[in-house]
Structure 1
Amino acid sequence: MSTASLHRWSDIPPEQLNPMLTRQYISGEQSMIARIVLDKGCVVPTHQHPNEQIAYIVSGALEFVIEDGTPGGVKHIVRAGEVLVIPANIPHSAVALEDTVDLDLFAPPRQDWLTNTDTYLR
């Protein structure tokens, strides 16, 4: 039987993935939550993963491009208080339009993050 575990963002050291992006995350057995801080102008290159992603913007704004086969893909500007759901295996990218704090929920947990093989971010 599993038990509940309490975590505080203030106790999790931010991981500096590149000069414009830091990340903290907490992983359970079936999902993962991440707190991502992006400086204005930060680019998250096009990537995809087998995880459903739910992105909640706490502050700032991100422009996501969802590659759906149309030229240039579908653009979504997601601002503070808004949520974008990205299905599994859909190529997508993002640009920080402002300094941004983003909470992402992934299901299942991101194995590439757990094993530090997420080179597209580094």
Structure 2
Amino acid sequence: MMLNGLIKGFINDESLPWESAGEGVQRKILAYDDRLMLVKVRFKSGGVGALHRHPHSQITFVDSGVFEIELDGTKQILKAGDAYYVAPEKLHGAVCIEDGMLIDAFSPNREDFLI
């Protein structure tokens, strides 16, 4: 339910829209307030989350698929059940090797996703 621009209470995944986040990449904002945000990111094989940095803390859970994750110059292959932490301002990105889904938690919320 949306209240004053914030998603509160129970969240029904099917009722929320996907938005494009690049070729082969879509995201869906599940819930947020001013201190926390949860986002699903769906990748097709070959989809790229370009290298970037932001002032938010981030924890990402690999829900499905296989990804090459680059974090602060180091690359590692992660699969379903794995996770990683990104400190504020650390350069990071992802390349999808097998179709999959990432679940991102950000603190504070990503206001740039809400524009």
Output the TM-score relative to the length of structure 1.
0.82
Counterpart Cα distance in 1 of 2:34 and 2:68:
30
Aligned-pair identity in percent equals 28
Query: Where does the alignment leave 5 or more consecutive residues of structure 1 unmatched?
Result: 68-72, 116-122
**Residue from 9, 13, 23 that aligns with 2:17:** 13
Query: Where does the alignment leave 5 or more consecutive residues of structure 2 unmatched?
Result: 1-7
**Corresponding letter in the other structure for 1:50:** P
RMSD, aligned α-carbons: 1.2
Residues 82-121 of structure 1: pairs in structure 2 closer than 5 A: 82-115=82-115
1 or 2 for the larger relative contact order (CA 8 Å, sep ≥6)?
Answer: 1
SS of equivalent residue, structure 2 residue 112: helix
Output the TM-score relative to the length of structure 2.
0.87
Shift of 1:80: 0.2
Indicate the residue corresponding to 1:55 in structure 2. 60
**Structure 1 runs, 4 residues or longer, greater than 6 Å off:** none
Shift of 1:17: 2.6
Shift of 1:85: 0.8
**Structure richer in strand, relative to its length:** 2
SS of equivalent residue, structure 1 residue 58: strand
Counterpart Cα distance in 1 of 2:90 and 2:22:
23
**Residue from 24, 31, 40 that aligns with 2:28:** 24
**Corresponding letter in the other structure for 2:40:** R
How many residue pairs are counted as aligned between the two chains? 107
Q: Please say if residues 22 and 48 of structure 2, whose CA atoms lie closer than 8 Å, have aligned partners that are also in contact.
A: no
SS of equivalent residue, structure 1 residue 112: helix
